[in-house]
Homo-oligomer: A and B are copies of this chain.
């Protein structure tokens, strides 16, 4: 077994209120970095860069710590409140509406890497503004070129496309969902969209299709995986973030980024995100344990082999 390398996660930390067609939650731990860091922590030592306010519940801090997440990069602004997001999923989970956003301390967030983080070999840039994602890359200064995964979301495609295009030339792995890939490339066929995205810069692209699995595009080939057959679907929030977090964590754990390792990372990400959707917040993701993740990974091997 290789010695796991550390993984660095940069992104939002939030307090969420989520309503689904079936249930309602309030003041739960949210934010891309929360989901991604906990997912990554199952595989590799994980460092978190983000910002919270004075109201951030100690129980949420303890949750991170229970996963051994390095919180040196998590700033606390004692004068502010934590980023707050409230959203509601439409019937049959056909889209969601944001009911309330309070950016709070996240408004002026500029990620600053602690000195000891600057040589992290595996980095995930959550879907913050592309200019900030680029700013993080500028701070990386290890002796070895880091492997960089980036996520984005529709707002940045609409408002800061030029910065996003610049970012794409600097990263190794771009993880995006099907709707966003259409928005960014104009290609409705995800196979063509994936190829198009690779021409924009990253050597590897993953297009996530939710309950329909995901697609991996790499210079050495194409890979498609079905979703894990979830039957207890509670809340999709954070599924994509934990997917990306599991990918970077797995790659760091094996210290490899070749096509074979990327395929396995996609399978682990599929297993991990299938847990995330089985509860609100990080509850199921956090309580599942590595053994459950491994069991779902093996199940994925079994149900896709012929």
- Of all chain B residues, the one with the shortest Cβ separation from A224 is B226
Tell me whether B225 and A304 are in contact (CB under 8 A): yes
CB-CB nearest 6 A-B residue pairs: A224-B226, A212-B212, A263-B306, A191-B229, A267-B306, A191-B231
Contact with B along A208-235 (1 / 0, CB 8 A): 0101110100000111111101110100
Task: Find chain B residues with CB under 8 A from A1 CB.
Answer: none
Contact with B along A176-219 (1 / 0, CB 8 A): 00000000000011111000000000000000010111010000
Tell me whether A306 and B224 are in contact (CB under 8 A): no
Query: Does A303 make an interface contact (CB < 8 A)?
Result: yes
Query: Does A92 make an interface contact (CB < 8 A)?
Result: yes
- Of all chain B residues, the one with the shortest Cβ separation from A268 is B306
Expressed in whole angstroms, the Cα–Cα distance for A144 and B28 within the complex equals 61
Assembly stoichiometry (copies): 2
Task: Find chain B residues with CB under 8 A from A227 CB.
Answer: 224
- Of all chain B residues, the one with the shortest Cβ separation from A217 is B229
Tell me whether B226 and A225 are in contact (CB under 8 A): yes
Query: Does A99 make an interface contact (CB < 8 A)?
Result: no
Distance from A300 Cβ to chain B, minimum over Cβ atoms (Å): 8
Tell me whether A225 and B266 are in contact (CB under 8 A): no
Task: Find chain B residues with CB under 8 A from A71 CB.
Answer: none
Distance from A172 Cβ to chain B, minimum over Cβ atoms (Å): 19
Task: Find chain B residues with CB under 8 A from A96 CB.
Answer: none
Task: Find chain B residues with CB under 8 A from A169 CB.
Answer: none
Tell me whether A264 and B226 are in contact (CB under 8 A): no
Expressed in whole angstroms, the Cα–Cα distance for A192 and B213 within the complex equals 17
Tell me whether B306 and A223 are in contact (CB under 8 A): yes
Task: Find chain B residues with CB under 8 A from A162 CB.
Answer: none
Query: Does A103 make an interface contact (CB < 8 A)?
Result: no
- Of all chain B residues, the one with the shortest Cβ separation from A209 is B212
- Of all chain B residues, the one with the shortest Cβ separation from A259 is B306
Query: Does A301 make an interface contact (CB < 8 A)?
Result: yes
- Of all chain B residues, the one with the shortest Cβ separation from A93 is B188
Distance from A239 Cβ to chain B, minimum over Cβ atoms (Å): 15
In-complex Cβ contact of A303 among B189, B221, B260 (8 A): B221
Expressed in whole angstroms, the Cα–Cα distance for A191 and B189 within the complex equals 25
